[in-house]
């Protein structure tokens, strides 16, 4: 079974302190759903059309678990705690068997 991944790109985080409430809820929600943080990419080298933004990569045992984690009540509560106007690009992708 192919693993599932959350790949989140944060174009700008001007005030990391505003993410405290989200982080306090999201971390436990992701771990409870079986997610493992592989990278909190403070260091990024971008090539081609890429832009060196912060990237967070989270692994799940399956694509279905990754989707279910995002849709879970616990993670939806975390999303509600994101500050107004916060910008990120989150993708859920299936790994290769």
How far apart (Å, rounded) are the C-alpha atoms in residues 81 and 84? 9
**Is the whole-model pTM more than 0.95?**
no
Of the candidates 31, 35, 47, the one whose C-alpha atom is nearest the C-alpha of residue 7 is 35
For residue 95, pLDDT over 90 is answered with yes
User: Domain tally for the chain?
Assistant: 1
Which structural domain range is residue 85 located in?
Answer: 4-94
pLDDT confidence of residue 74: 97
pLDDT confidence of residue 54: 79
CATH number of the domain that 69 lies in? 3.30.70.100
- The model's pLDDT over 17-47, given as tens digits with 9 standing for 90+, comes to 778 888 899 999 999 999 999 998 778 888 8
Helix axes 73-80 and 20-32, enclosed angle (nearest 10)? 170
pLDDT confidence of residue 19: 80
């Amino acid at each position: 079974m192919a693993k599932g991944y959350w790949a989140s790109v944060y174009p700008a985080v001007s005030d990391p302190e505003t993410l405290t409430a989200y982080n306090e809820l999201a971390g436990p929600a992701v771990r409870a759903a079986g997610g493992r943080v592989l990278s909190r990419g403070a260091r990024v080298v971008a090539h081609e059309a890429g832009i060196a933004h912060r990237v967070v990569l989270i692994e799940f045992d399956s694509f279905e678990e990754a989707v279910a984690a995002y849709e879970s009540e616990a993670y939806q509560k975390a999303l509600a705690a994101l500050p107004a106007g916060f910008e990120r690009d989150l993708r859920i992708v299936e790994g290769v068997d």
